[in-house]
Amino acid sequence: MRAKLEVLALVLGFIGLFGTIAITAMPMWRVSAFIGANLIVMEELWEGLWMNCYIQADIKMQCKAYDSLLILPSELQAARGLMCVSIVLVVISLFITGCGTKKSNCCNDNIKSKNITLAFGGGLYLLSFLTTLIPVSWVGHTVISNFYNPTVVDSRKRELGAALFIGWATSGVLLITGIILLFSYCKRRSKEEEPYADAYLMGSRDIKKEGSVYLEKTSSSFHGHQEYV
């Protein structure tokens, strides 16, 4: 059962890696909101971490990379850095988790080392969950706040892009992966301590037997007399 959980964690880890790469590269973090005076539906604007794209009515898309990082709002600047950190963390987590699985040949089949490796991989997954959830939620909060802010003109208002929804789903996958690995580590640790507990109990029993006083059972003279009669 534990081996199946570890395989499931590896599969979810790869899904999390593909998800973090996808949402980092996607330009659909913020999209045009067609409200009020901004009713020009022939052209749609996508804003991402690295570029913005204009989608025209005849399904032509033109994308342009940002000229400078400083022209981006603070939430997108932070999101760019945190998402790059998330990708690195997930890659390292996958490598460490692969080394800590029960069927791997790493660590020279040292169970204790594999357990520590597995726990470290689970902790990195939880850290990547935070570095993914924070920028996605920050950008989403900013988009919603500006949308309902009456001081912001309609042409500057945006809606939640598809990258944000994929980001929330990916952060959930990373969280589940970390929990599975830590749960597997706890199960392994309990199994690792069982032989030591059994050995301690057996040793305590032996000590008790060595220190005990055994009285040899001898037959009484009356019993011998009855047998003679």
Q: Does the pLDDT value for residue 166 go beyond 90?
A: yes
Q: Are 81 and 145 in contact (CB under 8 A)?
A: no
Hey, what amino acid is at 42? M
pTM to 2 decimal places? 0.76
Confidence tier at 127 by pLDDT (50, 70, 90): very high
Range of the domain at 182: 2-228
Average pLDDT for 195-204: 46
What does the pLDDT look like over 200-216, one tens digit per residue? 444 545 544 444 444 45
- The CATH number given to whatever domain includes residue 181 is 1.20.140.150
**Alpha carbon distances (Å) from 227 to 1, 34, 223, 224:** 65, 113, 6, 5
d(C-alpha 56, C-alpha 70), whole Å: 27
What local confidence, expressed as pLDDT, does residue 105 receive? Answer: 60
Overall number of domains in the chain: 1
What does the pLDDT look like over 61-83, one tens digit per residue? 888 888 888 888 889 999 999 99
Average pLDDT for 84-104: 84
